[in-house]
Structure 1
């Protein structure tokens, strides 16, 4: 079975976990997958999924996406993407040290950086938190924060921020807080087009449910990100839960 899947040019290593999960799950289910990688900026990934040039993409689950694409209803990262830790400006940790709850954080009136149409933007809006979406290449947010341009902080998933901190040493990882909302990545299949994933819905659903049941997903989450929870001192952070509506 041939699947055309993306590599995101802004964060090319993000694909590694999802590609290995797909390949291993399908092989263990008795199939021979051929994964064809196409490199696109994230904005174009969505366009290519819409027109069926891509077979599938991993995205944070939402009702809108469930309607627009074909969801495979298996959570992929043990909700690590829904546990958000902040990149902040160097020297500004003292601002966040005062925060004990959502209202404390809201009162800081700081502005989060987001890519256009990110699910985070919906969550921040629902919780009356200030944010601004970056048109074009969202990766520019990393460099704009240290220069005091537009944004005060950048929320990132536990599965993202450790590796990104090596790329952007001009940013600090905030020490005390983690913002949690109840969402995870799922695979979404394109419905129509040359490489539409729809025809593999049954095979992929069975393979991924088996990957969940067998512990394969847990093993790969541990392989790629298991140490991040320790590095980020997750257990001792103040947990701030965000509503989705």
Structure 2
């Protein structure tokens, strides 16, 4: 009888250990794949990736290992996520049609920065922009933008003169070849983009006098195959907003933009948008 009890005790303990080990294995398999940059020198995802890591670290008791998927554009990422393949999460500007295919975690990540647009231009064209008095005069010039970008829909609806491309890096080359007059970028993007490309495009400059302003929130989008991940991101974001981590990380990345780009000294042209940021 004592021997039977001893065997049962050992069995129960082995079962407990096995259960704990299995739990650890399951937790270790919870991996978020974040859509990476559009090119090897594209560093725009640094902030969104760091923010995601912080959010998920505050979504206990689950533990996530945030890793990057192979490079892919938004259209491919959306398709893969809709099918539940390869990519679980991406950060992107709001897009109405994605509401039916992906789960949007509707906490804006950039506090309106992506909707504030300043331009890349060729150095010899600054005078062309300095004399512009209103948005209708600006619309006469050729604007370069991505073919399927969310901001492009806004430019179209506001009747800008567009030249589009499916290639992010290709737009810099097109500007250098004078295929269009200006290339609007989010104020959160343009300084790092300039720093990494100024030697490749020595005639490229940041326009000094104008800023476009529209509503263009940035969200995390999650594959519908993993709704629990969307919920954990939502909970984690709420936690880091409450404890101040969100604001601290935001300030670390973007606190100098107002001064560096002299935003308060620019003419502001407002664009209508279907979104609210």
Match of 1:117 in 2: 148
Aligned to 1:16: 46
Counterpart of 2:163 in structure 1 is 132
Structure 1 runs (4+) greater than 6 angstroms displaced: none
Query: Which protein has greater RCO, CA pairs closer than 8 Å, 6+ apart?
Result: 1
1:1-245 alignment runs, 5 A limit: 1-10=30-39, 11-30=41-60, 31-42=62-73, 43-52=75-84, 53-106=86-139, 109-135=140-166, 137-148=167-178, 150-169=179-198, 170-192=203-225, 197-244=226-273
CA–CA distance in 1 between the matches of 2:106 and 2:239? 12
Q: In the TM superposition, what is the alpha-carbon distance from 1:213 to its structure 2 partner?
A: 3.1
How many residue pairs get aligned? The number is 237
Please give the alpha-carbon distance, in whole angstroms, between the structure 1 residues aligned to 2:271 and 2:76.
29
- Counterpart CA distance in 2 for 1:67 and 1:241 is 29
Equivalent-residue separation in structure 2 for 1:134 and 1:16 (angstroms): 24
Equivalent residues of 1:110, 1:152 under 8 A apart: yes
Deviation at 1:45, TM superposition (A): 2.7
Distance 2:148 2:47 in 1: 23
Structure 2, gaps ≥5 residues long: 1-29
How far 1:209 sits from its partner (Å)?
Answer: 2.0
Inter-partner Cα distance in structure 2 for 1:59 and 1:143: 23
Alpha-carbon offset, residue 60 of structure 1: 0.9
CA distance in 2, matches of 1:166, 1:105: 26
C-alpha deviation, 1:86, in angstroms: 0.5
TM-score (ref. length: structure 2): 0.80
Higher strand share: 1
What's the TM-score once normalised by structure 1's chain length?
A: 0.90
Unaligned runs of 5+ in 1: none
Root-mean-square deviation (CA, aligned residues, Å) is: 1.7
Give, in whole Å, the separation in 2 of the partners of 1:141 and 1:32.
Answer: 39
